[in-house]
């Protein structure tokens, strides 16, 4: 029985930022607790019955005192709020340059697929000092992807994608837990995150037979389901072109706008009539039940890789510069 150390490992950029706020909290609130406790304890000793220190009450309220001692509380919680919000935005707003890895949770395992098509189960291999974005979904109930050494978790939901990102700073193996109760074997839905040096990682990721990249797998699905028969660049195509769909804002029927992202693509495959692009009819059938979660991930990866047609590119002011150096092949 080895007693655990009292603090977890700090193995990502975010974890290091997290620790700063953690210690600010510990010191400010710890101090507040100790002072409050000491004052209380002092009163109990000093004014205990029989000491003769009793002073008859005079029945006045002290509004100024109430305000005075509320101020430090307000001050500290305001700092905590602002600092905490900054940290939160850091964790959940992904940089576009991050490498995207797909995670699919199901009772009771984690299935992971890398951009080059390599799969693993209950393990996540990542290179050190590289921004990694996880795009996650669940096949059944809600799970939660939790890496204590990175101080990060996010719920993994059925029916939609959630994302988080990190940059590991320490090589080694770290716990991976499911943090949202998901049934019988919830406590066995665990694994490890392996952070490797760049060289080791390249060797690891290219090992194995017949690795087909996610984009290519997505392209095959795209072809198998003949998506291109409607979604093409021709003048009278029945569906909008999907070139450059990712990270671009589209006008919908009814005047709303939607930004092309994983959730939008996913929804449009499963519930095509939910958001119909302006100028097109709602004629697409649903592919619910025909394309599984991993297939959807591959489709997202494929569509993400489609660049805008050069003509379009010239017309449009790009929303975001196209990310560079994100492919790992």
User: How many residues bind to other proteins according to rule CB under 8 A?
Assistant: 87
| 65 lies in the site for other proteins, by CB under 8 A | yes
Residues with Cβ < 8 Å from 299, sequence gap 6 or more?
218, 221, 222, 265, 269, 291
Give the range of 83-91, 113-121, 211-219, 230-238 binding other proteins by CB under 8 A.
Answer: 83-91
State which of residues 16, 27, 39, 311 lies at the interface with other proteins (CB under 8 A): 39
- Which of 13, 142, 230, 252 is close enough to bind other proteins by CB under 8 A? 142
64 part of the interface to other proteins, by CB under 8 A = no
Return d(Cα 135, Cα 156) in angstroms, integer: 9
Query: How near is the Cβ of 147 to other proteins at its closest, in Å?
Result: 8
Smallest CA-to-CA distance from 12 within 164, 174, 150 is with 150
- Closer residue to other proteins, CB minimum distance, 188 or 329: 188
CB of 15 to other proteins, least distance (A): 8
Applying the rule CB under 8 A, the residues between 94 and 123 that interact with other proteins are 107
- Residue 246 CA to residue 255 CA, distance in Å, equals 20
Tell which positions 234-273 bind other proteins, by CB under 8 A: none
Select 20 or 229, whichever has its Cβ closest to other proteins: 20
Interface segment toward other proteins; rule CB under 8 A; list 37-45, 207-215, 236-244, 250-258: 37-45
159 binds other proteins (CB under 8 A): yes
Span from 70-78, 117-125, 248-256, 316-324 in contact with other proteins (CB under 8 A): 70-78
- Among 16, 92, 251, 309, contact with other proteins (rule: CB under 8 A): 92
Q: How far is the CB of 107 from other proteins (least distance, A)?
A: 7
Residues 162-191 that bind other proteins (CB under 8 A): 162, 175, 177-188, 190
Query: Of the listed pieces 61-69, 96-104, 212-220, 221-229, which binds other proteins according to CB under 8 A?
Result: 61-69
Least distance (Å) between residue 285 CB and other proteins: 16
Cβ contacts of 290 within 8 Å, gap of 6 or more = 225
Among 153, 170, 225, 248, binds other proteins (CB under 8 A): 153
Segment 41 to 60, residues that bind other proteins, using CB under 8 A: 43-44, 47-49, 53-59
> How far apart (Å, rounded) are the C-alpha atoms in residues 239 and 247?
18
DSSP state of 186: G
CA distance 97 to 244: 17
In angstroms, the CA 161 to CA 94 distance is 13
- Judged by beta carbon, residue 69 or residue 96, the one nearer other proteins is 69
CB 247 within 8 A of CB 320: yes
What lies within 8 Å, CB to CB, of 254 at 6+ separation is none
* Min separation Cβ 208 and other proteins, Å: 29
Q: How many Å apart are CA 29 and CA 27, to the nearest integer?
A: 6
- How is residue 88 written in tokens? 């939160």
End-to-end CA distance of the chain: 44
Q: Is 227 in the site for other proteins (CB under 8 A)?
A: no
Residue 115's nearest CA partner among 295, 300, 323, 328 is 328
Q: Which of 61, 209, 210, 317 binds other proteins (CB under 8 A)?
A: 61
Q: How many residues does the chain have?
A: 329
Tell me which residue of 306, 316, 238 sits closest to 277, measured CA to CA.
238
| Residues 142 and 118 sit within 8 Å (Cβ to Cβ) | no
Asked if residue 40 binds other proteins (CB under 8 A), the reply is yes
């Amino acid at each position: 029985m080895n007693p655990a150390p009292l603090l977890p490992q700090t193995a990502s950029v975010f974890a290091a930022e997290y620790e700063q706020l953690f210690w600010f909290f510990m010191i400010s609130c710890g101090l507040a607790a100790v002072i409050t406790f000491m004052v209380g304890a002092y009163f109990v000793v000093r004014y205990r019955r029989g000491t003769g220190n009793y002073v008859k009450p005079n029945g006045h309220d002290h509004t100024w005192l109430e305000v005075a001692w509320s101020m430090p509380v307000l001050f500290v919680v305001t700092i905590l709020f602002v600092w905490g919000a900054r940290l939160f935005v850091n964790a959940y707003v992904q940089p576009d340059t991050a490498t995207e890895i797909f995670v699919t949770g199901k009772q009771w395992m984690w299935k992971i697929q890398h951009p080059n098509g390599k799969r693993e189960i209950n393990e996540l291999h990542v290179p050190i000092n590289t921004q990694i974005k996880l795009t996650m979904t669940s096949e059944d109930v809600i799970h939660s992807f939790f890496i204590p050494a990175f101080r990060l978790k996010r719920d993994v939901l059925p029916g939609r994608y959630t994302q988080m990102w990190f940059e590991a700073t320490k090589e080694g193996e770290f716990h991976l837990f499911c943090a949202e109760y998901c049934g019988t074997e919830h406590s066995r839905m665990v694994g490890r995150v392996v952070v490797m040096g760049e060289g080791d990682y390249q060797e690891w990721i290219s090992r194995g037979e017949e690795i087909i990249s996610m984009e290519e797998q997505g392209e095959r699905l795209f072809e198998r389901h003949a998506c291109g028969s409607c979604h093409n660049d021709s003048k009278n195509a029945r569906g909008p072109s999907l070139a450059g769909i990712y990270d671009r804002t589209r006008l919908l029927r009814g005047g709303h706008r939607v930004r092309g992202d994983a959730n939008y693509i996913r929804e449009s495959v499963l519930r095509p009539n939910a958001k119909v692009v302006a100028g097109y009819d709602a004629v697409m059938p649903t592919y619910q039940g025909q394309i599984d979660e991993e297939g959807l991930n591959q489709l997202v990866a494929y569509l993400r890789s489609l660049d805008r047609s050069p003509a379009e590119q010239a017309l449009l002011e790009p929303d975001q510069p196209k990310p560079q150096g994100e492919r790992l092949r």
